[in-house]
Structure 1
Amino acid sequence: MTVADHSEALTALDSTLRNIEAVLDLDRMRKEKGSLEEQASAPDLWDEPAKAQVVTSRLSYVQGEINRVEKLRSRLDDARLLLEMAEAEGDAASVDEVGTEIGALRKQIDELEVRTLLSGEYDSREALVSVRSGAGGVDAADFAEMLLRMYLRWAERHGYSTEVYDTSYAEEAGIKSATFAVKAPYAFGTLSVESGTHRLVRISPFDNQGRRQTSFAAIEVVPVVEQTDQIEINDDDLRVDVYRSSGPGGQGVNTTDSAVRLTHLPTGIVVSCQNERSQLQNKATAMGVLKAKLLALKQAEEAAKIDQIRGDVQGSWGDQMRSYVLHPYQMVKDLRTEFETGNPSAVFDGEIDQFIEAGIRWRRQRAAE
């Protein structure tokens, strides 16, 4: 590419970054950072651990966002200066270096731009993700475990903390279901576009005749409940069961009945937790998951009422939202956005950012229609 091409690309990136800076309102974020730093330095901060956690977590996020934008602005300015010097000195190697930097900047600015599209009521929250095997027998259970690993690897790639609350293993292979938390700001807004039915087509490794098998798994993403949410659960509406935690093949993990299963009788929602050794801890964690699911149900009911008023008769966008094909060809395709890749191995290893970004843009466009 020529110097003129690079200059045009830098101008476009500068315009996009300015729009991002305006949407994020950096001046407001800097003021918020100062206020949070003042709260975090208070000697009695940890007298209320829950409040302290909110303050320190928010401060870390705000600092990270400010640093991220400022670093991109600095790199963009440096790239423009390097291009001007390279042009003046006829330095082709430096021109190529600018081209490489433009590619890297474009990727990171595009990712940041997608973040500015997350403006929903709960988008800024952490996420609870549930994976459930569907139709397809043992292949579906294996597929569910593949998806569980995919999302955990995605979180690991981004440095996001995760915690698996409950895993129900299938008898032969894979899992029946699993629930885990992604503890990062905007995890819900980011992963919410992954909700829906996922389909896998492959030659079944569990079929001795080597036949092609289609199997399904469902992904559910809900926001973590915060103290300000009004989610009340009456004791009479709750059934509590305790049981012994178990691992693959029924292998005993604990020697006491510490695992807890909660059933919300009015809605039929069932959640469980077995990752803690204490029954009380497992119950508290399960209660948090149940409240999150009830919050999501409340949100869905409100959205359904709005759709009814609007006359929206379309089905849920989440149904069969993505296909993973391993035979007779290699492809992963999102059925809503039409985005696809021919590298399923990378996708199952957590490289799903482009699918997520396309989903967020698609959702925003659909909401504007």
Structure 2
Amino acid sequence: MAGPDFDSEIKQLQATMHTIEQVLDLETMKAEIASLQEQVAAPDLWDDQANATRVTGKLSDLQGQLERFERLSNRIEDLGVLVELAVEADDADSMEEAQRELPKVKTAVESLEVRTLLSGEYDAREAIVTIRSGAGGVDAADFAEMLMRMYTRWAERNKYSVEVFDVSYAEEAGIKSAEFAIHAPYAYGTLSVEVGTHRLVRISPFDNQGRRQTSFAAVEVVPQLEQTDEIEIDENEVRTDVFRSGGPGGQSVNTTDSAVRLTHIPTGIVVSCQNEKSQLQNKAAAMIVLKAKLLARKKAEEAALKKDLKGDVAASWGDQMRNYVLNPYQIVKDLRTGFETGNPQPVFDGEIDGFLEAGIRWRRGAEKVEA
């Protein structure tokens, strides 16, 4: 009886992998890898460091995608052989091994399938994440810091590097805001589903009467820019302020005015950077973030115009997108996808892949309805 069940499961996995293969276009991918390898082998590659970084990064990403697909295809094939031998030999131990392997392979296939859904114009980019505390006083500031830790822990779990541009600490606890980059292919496409207002309900650790408190924090995600992106900024429209870097509780961590705050006067967008040692380095880093936000704003305005012209034919992303409830019961629930877990602590420790995958699938479904 186990054999036919496995046959059905394996055939479904193979069908999904065939669809993924078509989406990835493996032949084109292999040709691009060969072209990039030729460029990497060129003796003058590093004469242009920016281009060299782009080429080597693209090569590494494509090789990783190809290896992941081939490795998973081999696992499915090996699973089929294991089941076949177990049935022929009536080997209970081998069948138990297959039963343990099947859900692991299914999870891996589902994860790879989600990656193929990231086909937006900027989905393959690295991400710049901004978190701001909202209503809720000190609890909101503490919640904002919890979210920052959640995303940085997620990055650490996936071995992605994180570059913190700026953190504005609140007086009592937590943070007013934070801005950081996650350097990984498809970080923007993956984390863009986190955009919106996050809501926390818990017994406040800052309330001496032990009352339940609701607090909010906002998450914004924009793609990291590349040299080919056309965003021009008139320097006369940018106000530059310099100040000393600050730590928790107002502690000064720099004795010179090296931190930089840029204000784009026409839009009111403000970005800060204080992680570098020199004022020039901080200004350059802040300008990168400012350009990324201006690009995201431009794309959002274009999308809004298209939507106005087409009409509201599908539910749009709501502002409040996820609840984190710690009292009177425990649950983390995404209000758009319905995905939830009754164990919040692993979520705050960075285990958010389930929410990300559900969000990506939900977004693709919404896009199909709008098309």
Please name the residue that 2:18 is paired with: 18
Query: Following the alignment from structure 2 to structure 1, what is the Cα–Cα distance between the partners of residues 266 and 17?
Result: 48
Residues 1:74 and 2:74 aligned together: yes
The structural deviation recorded for 1:177 is: 0.3
* Long gaps (5+) in structure 2: none
Please name the residue that 2:49 is paired with: 49
| Cα displacement string for residues 151-187 of structure 1 (whole angstroms, at most 9, x for unaligned residues) | 0011111111111110000000000000110111111
The structural deviation recorded for 1:102 is: 1.0
SS in 2 for 1:245: coil
Please name the residue that 2:281 is paired with: 281
Query: Following the alignment from structure 2 to structure 1, what is the Cα–Cα distance between the partners of residues 226 and 308?
Result: 29
The structural deviation recorded for 1:87 is: 0.7
SS in 1 for 2:320: coil
- Counting only pairs closer than 5 Å after superposition, residues 252-331 of structure 1 correspond to structure 2 as 252-312=252-312, 317-331=317-331
Q: Any conservation in 2 of the 1:3–1:95 contact (CA below 8 Å)?
A: no
Residues 1:204 and 2:172 aligned together: no
Residues 1:3 and 2:3 aligned together: yes
| Cα displacement string for residues 237-292 of structure 1 (whole angstroms, at most 9, x for unaligned residues) | 00000000010011121111100000000000000000000111100000000000
SS in 2 for 1:327: coil
Query: Following the alignment from structure 2 to structure 1, what is the Cα–Cα distance between the partners of residues 4 and 208?
Result: 60
**Consecutive aligned runs of 4 or more in structure 1 exceeding 2 Å deviation:** 313-316
The structural deviation recorded for 1:313 is: 7.9
Query: Following the alignment from structure 2 to structure 1, what is the Cα–Cα distance between the partners of residues 147 and 100?
Result: 33
Query: Following the alignment from structure 2 to structure 1, what is the Cα–Cα distance between the partners of residues 11 and 311?
Result: 43
Query: Following the alignment from structure 1 to structure 2, what is the Cα–Cα distance between the partners of residues 314 and 75?
Result: 39
SS in 1 for 2:280: helix
Query: Following the alignment from structure 1 to structure 2, what is the Cα–Cα distance between the partners of residues 25 and 159?
Result: 27
Residues 1:59 and 2:72 aligned together: no
Q: Any conservation in 1 of the 2:201–2:212 contact (CA below 8 Å)?
A: yes
Please name the residue that 1:344 is paired with: 344
Please name the residue that 2:140 is paired with: 140
The structural deviation recorded for 1:316 is: 5.0
The structural deviation recorded for 1:235 is: 1.0
Please name the residue that 2:99 is paired with: 99
- Counting only pairs closer than 5 Å after superposition, residues 144-183 of structure 1 correspond to structure 2 as 144-183=144-183
Q: Any conservation in 1 of the 2:315–2:366 contact (CA below 8 Å)?
A: no
Q: Any conservation in 2 of the 1:195–1:318 contact (CA below 8 Å)?
A: no
- Which 10-residue stretch deviates more, 175-184 or 245-254? 245-254
Please name the residue that 2:240 is paired with: 240
The structural deviation recorded for 1:3 is: 2.0
Query: Following the alignment from structure 2 to structure 1, what is the Cα–Cα distance between the partners of residues 191 and 27?
Result: 28
* Long gaps (5+) in structure 1: none
TM-score, normalised via structure 2 length: 0.98
Alignment coverage as a number of residue pairs: 369
Equivalent residue letter for 1:329 = Y
Please name the residue that 1:358 is paired with: 358
Q: Cα RMSD over matched residues?
A: 1.1
TM-score, normalised via structure 1 length: 0.98
Please name the residue that 2:332 is paired with: 332
